[in-house]
C-alpha cells in the first residue's frame, strides 16, 4: 500500500473537492426539501422566503460548524500524534476538551445558558483557557513530553470528575438532561453567532499548528536532532499546545465533546502522505471536515423523532472502525 | 583556519560537574576524534558543541564568532549532528528521511526545491544509499540505517559533521565505510568531530585525538603522540598492545588492570 507518491496538489485538491460535494449535500439534507438555487435567488432579491430562511439560518450554520469542527479535530489530532510521537494521541489528550466541557457545564448548572447565546461558548472557552494555565503551571520548563501527557491525563480526570459532580448536584432533572445532551456533542440548532464567536480562536489555533509543520517533520528524527536542526523545541511545543487548546477549546465550546474524529482521521490519511507529519496536517484538516459532515448527514437521515447526537454516532462508528484500522495496519503503525 | 573552538567549557547538572575546563579546536580539513571511557562526558561535549545544550561555563566559537551571536537557523545550516544510536522513529522511506536534512534550508511554508533534490541525490551518492531509496528505513539493516542517517546529514550540506559513536553497532565493512565517508568529508573548509570507542579506527582515521576522562581533558594530540600504552592504561584501565606499521596504528586491548575501573 503505497499512495505516498500522490503529490500534495492532487491529494489536497481531491480532498477539497470531496469536501465541497459533501458540504453541498449537507445543505440539501433536512426534514423539509428546499431549493438551494431558489433560496439564493430569494436572498439576492432581498425577498425573505421559507427556503432562504432554512438555508441561511439553520442549515448553513450547521454545515459550516460541522465542517470547521471536524477540520479542527482532524488537524489537532494529527498535530498531537506528531508532537507526542504516539498514534493514540487525540485532541483531548492535553485535557482541553474536558475542561472546556466543564466550563460549559457550569453555565448550564447555574442556569445562564438561556440568558445569553454567548454564555455557553464563553464558559467553554474559559474552561479551555484554565486547562492551558494549569498545564503551564504543571509542565513549566520540563523537557519531557511525558510530563505533558501526564498533566493532560490529570486535567482530563479532574475535568471529568467535576462534570460528574455538577451532574450529581444538578438543580433539576431538566438541567441534568440539558447537560447530558450537550455533552454528547452536536452541531444542531446552532446559529451564525456561535460560529462567529468560535471562529477567531479556531483560526488562530489552525495558524499556530500549521506554522509548526516543519518542526513536526524534524521531530521524527528525535528531539536532540530537531534542536541541532535549529528548532527551539520547548518554545515550539508550547506553540503547538496553545494552538491545539485554542481551536479544540473553541470547538468543544460550541459543539460539546465529539470523539474519535481526531483519532481516526490522521490514521485514515497517513498512508496517503507517506506518514509525513507536515503533509498530514492540511490533509487531516480537510479529511476531518469531510468526515464530520458525513456523520452529521447520517445523523439527520437516521433520526426522525428524537435527534441522535453527532458525538454518539462518531463514537459508535469510530470505535469499531478504529479496531478495523488497527487490524489492517498493525504492521505499518508508527 | 579554525572552524570551531570550545574555550574552557564546563557543564553542570544541579552542582554535579559533568565537564570541566575543556579546550578544543577543530580546524578546516581536520577529522577530530573524541575518545575516553563510558561516562567520561564525550557525548555531553558533543551536545555542547552542537548547541543542543548550553554550556554552564565557557564559550563556543564557530568561525571565531560566538555561537550566541549566530541564529539557530544559521547554525543549523552549518552543522550536522548524528546522535548516538540514531534511528528512524517514523515509517519513512529512505529518500524522505534523507530529505529531512533539507529542513534547515527551508522556510516554514516552503516545500522541496530543485536544489533540495540535487542535494538529496548527492547525499545518496556519497553514502551509497541510492539502491534502497524507496525502502522504509526501519526495514533496513543497522549498517544501512546508519548510512541513511548520515545521508540525512549530507543533505544539509554542513561544514562540520558531529557523529556520536557512528560505528558502534556496525560490522567491519560498514565501520570502514562510515569512517571513509567522514574522512572524505573532512577536507578543504569542512571538518568532522567523531566520538569513538574503537581506538584503532580512531588512530587510523583521525588527524587529532582528544582524550576525555572524568569530565576533563586528559590529553590531546596526533594519534602517534597520544595513543600510548601508558595513556590507555591510565584512562581505560586496560593493558593494550599497540602496533605501528604501514597501515597505521592499531590498538588491541589485552587484559583489565585490576578489578575496578580507574
**What number of CA atoms fall less than 13 Å from residue B76's CA on the CB side?**
22
What burial letters (b/e) apply to B131-141, b meaning 16+ CB within 10 Å?
Answer: ebbeebbeebe
Q: A315 CA to chain B: closest CA distance, Å? A: 28
Cell numbers representing residue A198 in the block:
468560535
Could A214 and B72 be called an inter-chain contact, meaning their C-beta atoms sit closer than 8 Å?
A: no
Task: Tell me what pLDDT residue A334 has.
Answer: 46
Q: How does B107-125 read in b/e, with b if 16+ C-beta sit within 10 Å?
A: eeeeeeeeebeebbeebbe
Q: Do B76 and A228 touch (CB under 8 A)?
A: yes
**Considering CB atoms only, which of A8, A229, A334 is closest to B90?**
A334
Q: Which residues pair with residue B60 across a beta bridge? A: B6
Residue in B with minimal Cα distance to A331: B91
Give the tens place of pLDDT for each residue, A43-61: 888 888 888 888 888 899 9
Q: Is B80 helix (H, G, I), strand (E, B) or coil?
A: strand
Say if A3 falls within a structural domain.
no
Contact A274 B92 (CB under 8 A): yes
Q: What integer pLDDT is reported at residue B28 of this predicted model?
A: 96
Indicate the DSSP class of residue A57. Answer: I
Give 3-state DSSP helix, strand, coil % of chain B, rounded to 5. 35, 30, 30
Phi-psi sector, A222: left (phi>0), alpha (psi -120 to 50), beta: left
Arithmetic mean of pLDDT over chain B: 92
Look at A214 and B52 and tell me if their CB atoms are within 8 Å. Answer: no
Whether residue A275 is predicted with pLDDT greater than 90 in this model: the reply is: no
In a domain, A176, yes or no: yes
Nearest CB to B108 within list A213, A228, A232? A213
Subunit contact B92:A222, Cβ cutoff 8 A: no
Q: What is the chain B residue with the closest CA to A212?
A: B108
State how far residue A261 is from chain B, nearest Cα, in angstroms: 22
User: Which of helix, strand or coil describes residue B197?
Assistant: coil
User: Residues 223-252, chain A: which have Cβ within 8 Å of B?
Assistant: 224-225, 227-232
Band of residue B248 on the pLDDT scale cut at 50, 70, 90 = confident
Domain ranges in chain B are 2-220
Mean pLDDT of A256-270: 91
Residue A249 included in any domain: yes
SS3 B34: strand
Look at residue B260 in the predicted model and tell me its pLDDT: 63
Q: Kindly report the nearest CA distance between residue A9 and chain B, in angstroms.
A: 12
Q: Which residue of A has its CA nearest to B107?
A: A214
Dihedral sign computed on CA atoms, order B135, B141, B142, B148: negative
Average pLDDT over residues B217-245: 93
Whether A297 is covered by a domain: the verdict is: yes
What pLDDT, on the 0 to 100 scale, is given for residue A47? 80
- Structural domain of residue A258, as residue ranges? 8-329
Distance CA A262, CA A264 (A): 6
Look at chain B and count its residues: 262
By C-alpha distance, the chain A residue nearest B139 is A332
CATH number of the domain encompassing residue A312: 1.10.3470.10
> B198 pLDDT exceeds 70?
yes
Q: How many domains does chain A have?
A: 1
Residue A7 C-alpha cell reads as: 503529490
The whole-angstrom distance between A103's CA and the closest CA on chain B is 35
For the B2-220 domain, the top CATH level (class) is alpha beta
Indicate whether A2 belongs to any domain: no
Q: Which has more pLDDT, B8 or A1?
A: B8
Taking residue A45's Cβ as centre, other Cβ atoms within 10 Å add up to 10
Task: Return contacts of B199-202, CB within 8 angstroms, 24+ apart.
Answer: B199/B35, B199/B227, B199/B232, B199/B240, B199/B251, B199/B253, B200/B249, B200/B250, B200/B251, B200/B252, B201/B167, B201/B175, B202/B33, B202/B35, B202/B227
Select from B33, B57, B44 the least CA-distant residue to B83.
B44
**Do the chains contact at A274 and B96, CB–CB below 8 Å?**
yes
* Predicted model pTM: 0.90
Q: Where residue B152 falls among pLDDT bands split at 50, 70, 90?
A: very high
> pLDDT at position B162, please?
97
pLDDT value, residue A332: 56
H/E stretch holding B62 reads: strand B57-62
Helix (H) or strand (E) holding A75: helix A60-83
Contacts of A213 in chain B (CB under 8 A): 108
pLDDT at A68 over 70: yes
* B204 within 8 A of B249, measured Cβ to Cβ: yes
Residue A1 lies in a domain: no
Band of residue A1 on the pLDDT scale cut at 50, 70, 90? very low
Residues B69-87 have pLDDT tens digits of: 999 999 999 999 999 988 7
Residues in Cβ contact with A200 at an 8 Å cutoff, skipping those fewer than 6 apart: none
- Domain contains A90: yes
| Percent of chain A scoring above 70 in pLDDT | 96
Closest Cβ opposite residue A224 in set B52, B106, B108: B52
- Asked, for residue A17, whether it belongs to a domain, the answer is yes
User: Taking 50 as the threshold, does the pLDDT of residue A114 lie above it?
Assistant: yes
pLDDT in tens, B162-174: 999 999 888 999 9
CB distance B81–A334 less than 8 Å?
no
The pLDDT confidence band at residue A324, using thresholds 50, 70 and 90, is confident
Contacts of B156 in chain A (CB under 8 A): 229
Distance of CA A91 to the CA centre of its chain: 7
Res. B96: pLDDT tops 80: yes
Pinpoint the alpha helices (H) of B100-141.
114-127
Position B55 pLDDT exceeds 70: yes
Q: How far is A265 from chain B (nearest CA, A)?
A: 18
User: Please, which residues 258-317 of chain A have a Cβ atom closer than 8 Å to chain B?
Assistant: 274-277
Choice among A174-183, B188-197, B217-226 with the minimum mean pLDDT: A174-183
pLDDT number for residue B262:
63
Q: Pick from A4, A224, A334: which is nearest to B93 by CB?
A: A4
Q: What is the pLDDT of residue B261?
A: 66
For residue B92, list chain A residues with Cβ-Cβ distance below 8 A.
220, 274-276
What's the pLDDT band for A306 if we cut at 50, 70, 90?
Answer: low
pLDDT at A191: 86
Distance CA A23, CA A27 (A): 6
Interface of chain B against chain A, CB under 8 Å?
Answer: 47, 50-52, 71-73, 75-77, 79-81, 83, 86, 88-93, 96-97, 100, 103-104, 106, 108, 111, 152, 156, 162
pLDDT at A279 over 60: yes
Query: What are the grid coordinates assigned to A148, written together?
Result: 505533558
CA distance linking residue A92 with residue B48, whole number of Å: 36
Instruction: Count each helix (H run) and each strand (E run) in chain B, helices first.
Output: 9, 12
Q: What average pLDDT does range B81-110 have in this prediction?
A: 88
Amino acid at each position: 500500500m503505497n499512495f505516498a507518491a500522490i503529490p500534495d496538489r492532487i491529494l489536497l485538491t481531491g480532498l477539497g473537492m470531496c469536501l465541497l460535494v459533501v458540504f453541498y449535500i449537507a445543505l440539501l439534507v433536512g426534514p423539509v426539501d428546499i431549493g438551494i438555487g431558489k433560496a439564493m435567488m430569494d436572498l439576492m432579491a432581498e425577498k425573505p422566503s421559507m427556503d432562504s430562511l432554512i438555508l441561511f439560518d439553520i442549515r448553513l450554520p450547521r454545515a459550516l460548524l460541522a465542517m470547521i469542527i471536524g477540520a479542527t479535530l482532524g488537524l489537532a489530532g494529527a498535530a498531537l500524534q506528531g508532537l507526542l510521537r504516539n498514534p493514540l494521541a487525540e485532541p483531548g489528550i492535553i485535557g482541553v476538551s474536558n475542561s472546556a466541557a466543564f466550563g460549559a457545564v457550569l453555565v448550564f448548572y447555574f442556569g445562564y445558558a438561556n440568558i445569553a447565546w454567548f454564555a455557553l461558548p464563553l464558559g467553554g472557552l474559559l474552561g479551555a483557557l484554565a486547562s492551558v494555565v494549569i498545564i503551564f503551571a504543571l509542565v513549566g520548563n520540563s523537557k519531557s513530553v511525558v510530563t505533558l501527557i501526564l498533566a493532560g491525563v490529570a486535567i482530563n480526570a479532574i475535568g471529568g470528575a467535576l462534570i460528574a459532580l455538577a451532574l450529581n448536584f444538578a438543580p433539576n432533572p431538566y438541567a441534568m438532561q440539558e447537560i447530558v445532551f450537550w455533552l454528547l456533542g452536536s452541531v444542531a440548532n446552532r446559529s451564525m453567532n456561535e460560529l462567529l464567536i468560535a471562529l477567531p480562536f479556531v483560526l488562530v489555533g489552525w495558524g499556530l499548528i500549521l506554522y509548526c509543520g516543519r518542526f513536526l517533520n524534524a521531530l521524527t528524527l528525535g528531539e536532540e536532532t530537531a534542536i541541532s536542526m535549529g528548532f527551539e523545541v520547548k518554545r515550539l511545543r508550547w506553540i503547538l499546545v496553545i494552538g491545539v487548546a485554542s481551536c479544540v477549546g473553541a470547538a468543544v465550546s460550541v459543539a460539546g465533546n465529539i470523539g474519535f474524529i481526531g483519532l481516526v482521521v490522521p490514521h485514515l490519511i497517513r498512508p496517503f502522505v507517506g506518514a509525513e507529519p507536515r503533509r498530514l496536517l492540511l490533509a487531516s484538516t480537510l479529511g476531518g471536515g469531510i468526515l464530520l459532515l458525513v456523520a452529521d448527514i447520517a445523523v439527520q437521515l437516521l433520526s426522525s423523532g428524537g435527534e441522535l447526537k453527532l458525538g454518539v454516532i462518531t463514537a459508535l462508528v469510530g470505535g469499531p472502525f478504529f479496531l478495523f484500522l488497527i487490524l489492517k495496519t498493525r504492521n505499518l503503525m508508527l | 583556519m579554525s572552524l570551531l573552538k570550545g574555550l574552557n567549557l564546563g557543564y553542570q547538572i544541579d552542582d554535579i560537574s559533568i565537564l570541566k575546563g575543556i579546550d578544543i579546536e577543530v580546524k578546516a580539513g581536520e577529522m577530530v576524534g573524541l575518545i575516553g571511557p563510558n561516562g567520561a562526558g564525550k557525548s555531553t561535549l558533543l551536545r555542547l558543541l552542537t548547541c543542543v545544550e548550553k554550556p554552564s561555563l565557557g564559550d563556543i566559537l564557530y568561525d571565531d564568532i560566538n555561537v550566541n551571536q549566530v541564529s539557530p537557523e544559521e547554525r543549523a545550516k552549518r552543522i550536522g549532528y548524528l546522535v548516538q544510536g540514531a534511528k528512524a522513529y517514523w515509517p519513512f522511506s529512505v529518500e524522505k528521511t534523507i530529505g529531512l536534512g533539507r529542513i534547515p534550508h527551508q522556510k516554514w511554508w516552503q516545500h522541496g526545491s530543485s536544489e533540495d533534490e540535487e542535494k538529496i541525490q548527492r547525499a545518496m551518492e556519497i553514502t551509497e544509499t541510492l539502491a534502497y531509496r524507496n525502502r522504509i528505513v526501519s526495514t533496513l539493516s543497522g549498517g544501512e540505517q546508519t548510512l541513511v542517517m548520515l545521508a540525512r546529514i549530507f543533505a544539509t550540506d554542513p561544514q562540520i559533521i558531529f557523529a556520536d559513536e557512528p560505528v558502534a553497532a556496525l560490522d567491519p565493512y560498514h565501520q570502514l565505510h562510515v569512517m571513509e565517508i567522514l574522512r572524505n568529508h573532512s577536507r578543504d573548509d569542512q571538518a568532522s568531530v567523531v566520538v569513538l570507542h574503537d581506538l584503532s579506527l580512531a588512530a587510523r582515521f583521525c588527524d587529532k585525538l582528544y582524550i576525555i576522562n572524568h569530565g576533563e581533558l586528559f590529553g590531546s594530540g596526533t594519534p602517534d603522540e597520544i595513543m600510548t600504552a601508558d595513556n590507555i592504561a591510565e584512562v581505560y584501565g586496560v593493558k593494550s598492545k599497540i602496533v605501528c606499521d604501514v597501515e597505521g596504528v592499531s590498538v588491541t586491548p589485552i587484559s583489565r588492570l585490576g578489578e575496578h575501573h580507574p
